[in-house]
Structure 1
Amino acid sequence: MKDYLIAIVDDDQNIRELVEAFLNKDHYRTIGLGSAEEALELWKSSPPDMWVLDIMLPGMDGYELCKRIRQDAEVPIIMISARDNEVDKILGLELGSDDYLVKPFSPRELVARVKRQLQRWYRVNNTDDSSQDTSLAQRLVVGQLQLILDERRVIWCGEEVEVTLKEYALLKVLAEHPNRAFTRDEVLTLVWGEDYFGSDRAVDHLIKRIRKKMDNLPIESIWGHGYRMRTEGVEQ
């Protein structure tokens, strides 16, 4: 098992030290940071395997930091806040956080959530594509979209597109079952895992990110239901 490094970003030194103490006790390596600006410097030089981000930070807030991290990577992110507000939770999840915890929280609960997120991330990143049905061969093709399975690459209209882990996972689910309508709950289970408990609006946000990268991608929105990858009328 990998020796994970977890970054805790909170301007309250007491909280940072408490969280670090509990994570260290569970044999995780940690680094504490007091601002988003310090966190970005760490991200450039020695990116950690996971982030625990406070929302209310001096200068750049936790939302913007989460957004910037998520533009480049799909590492687990847990957001913490003193505000127990549904809007805050939804916004955090839409920006790409994997979990949300309200202060004051039990350090043991945070450790449990950290462990759960890292286990999920480890399973997904170590999925062996050779275990896939051989009928899928090495590629999935839907019109101008190609997924090269053994290399985890995405080709759209002849050009390779950089995608995150969850973006790839969602594209793979839809491309494996063209024209099938998936509910948001089904997508959450297949992409985020059965124990995910956040808002299904995270699915909409992920679709929005994919569409921004691949213009005219044939992912169809089904009002009040979910999404599907169309093949009718798509050039093969």
Structure 2
Amino acid sequence: MNSHIGVVEDDTNIQNIVSAYLKKEGFHVTVMESAEKAWELWETQPPDMWILDIMLPGMDGYEFCKNIRNESNVPIIIISAKDDEIDKILGLELGGDDYLTKPFSPRELLARVKRVFKRTQPQVKMSEVGHDRLKVDNLLIHESDRRIFWSGEEQDVTTKEFDMLLLFAENVNRAFSREELLVKIWGEDYFGSDRAVDDLVKRIRKKLSDIPLETVWGYGYRLRSEEDQT
């Protein structure tokens, strides 16, 4: 396991603890105390994952997360002393894949790192249109390299947007409750509001105009297929 993780944290104690636990598991770790230095790393030796504090000197974690998302879907785990629900929702809306509130157990962080890597790393499988591809009407998903095409044009999507689209495409016309979607996309240990689901659906609808991602009122959402009405 040689994945490179960038840790952006200005607290020396947290830096040392997080770095030690990650290195023990075989990860290559680069620690930075500011988002500005992290951006320099991004331009020269981009990590495979970021562990990002929110309260940083200079550019804060929210802005850094937004800037990274403008260029890449690399996984981002946010760690923060801010435990208000609105802060968690904002972090996830800006593209964070997970949000962990300080103080936290290093073992819990390590478990989330492994889970996010497992969820976001490509997994090859056969689909109805051939090796590693899944098609539902105008939606085409290349699963191994995590690419989304809508009406023939490739779309720039975040990790969670991809995960939700893949889940719906593999379960066409099935309605998922908001609670189910929270567990399947964010994980069983996510305790935030189901508003995160609504916000994610809203972003997908904005990017993929006219996608038949329907609201099941009082319950959740489903992806309807024009070709499969059974």
| TM-score bracket relative to the smaller structure | 0.7 to 0.9
Match of 1:154 among 148, 151, 156: 148
Deviation at 1:129, TM superposition (A): 0.9
Change (3 A) 1:232 1:137: closer
| Kept after mapping to 1: 8 A contact 2:4/2:29 | yes
Alignment match, 1:184: 178
Alignment match, 2:117: 121
Q: Determine if the alignment matches structure 1 residue 61 to structure 2 residue 60.
A: yes
Distance 1:202 1:180 in 2: 20
| Kept after mapping to 1: 8 A contact 2:21/2:110 | no
Deviation at 1:62, TM superposition (A): 0.9
Structural RMSD (CA): 2.9
Deviation at 1:79, TM superposition (A): 1.9
| Kept after mapping to 2: 8 A contact 1:93/1:198 | no
What residue ranges of structure 2 are gaps of 5+ in the alignment?
Answer: none
Change (3 A) 1:96 1:198: farther
Change (3 A) 1:216 1:56: same
Structure 1 range deviating more: 201-210 or 47-56: 201-210
Give the counterpart letter for 1:40 in structure 2.
Answer: W
Tell me the SS of whatever aligns to 1:59.
coil
Tell me the SS of whatever aligns to 2:185.
helix
Give the counterpart letter for 1:144 in structure 2.
Answer: N
Deviation at 1:118, TM superposition (A): 2.3
Distance 1:9 1:146 in 2: 35
**What is the aligned length?**
226
Distance 2:135 2:113 in 1: 31
Tell me the SS of whatever aligns to 2:62.
helix
Matches within 5 A, 1:104-143: 105-106=103-104, 109-122=105-118, 124-130=120-126, 136-138=128-130, 139-143=133-137
Match of 1:213 among 187, 207, 212: 207
State the identity %.
51
Alignment match, 1:83: 82
Tell me the SS of whatever aligns to 2:196.
helix
C-alpha distance after superposition, 1:150-187 (max 9, x if no partner): 66543222222233443223212222333322112222
Structure 1 range deviating more: 196-205 or 208-217: 196-205
Tell me the SS of whatever aligns to 2:215.
strand
What residue ranges of structure 1 are gaps of 5+ in the alignment?
Answer: none
Give the counterpart letter for 2:106 in structure 1.
Answer: L
| Kept after mapping to 2: 8 A contact 1:7/1:33 | yes
| Kept after mapping to 2: 8 A contact 1:23/1:111 | no
Change (3 A) 1:205 1:117: farther
TM-score, with normalisation over the residues of structure 1?
Answer: 0.79
Higher helix share: 1
Distance 2:148 2:112 in 1: 28
Tell me the SS of whatever aligns to 2:7.
strand
Match of 2:138 among 141, 144, 147: 144
C-alpha distance after superposition, 1:97-152 (max 9, x if no partner): 2333333x25xx1343233332442355242213x5xxx24254433223345665
| Kept after mapping to 2: 8 A contact 1:67/1:95 | yes
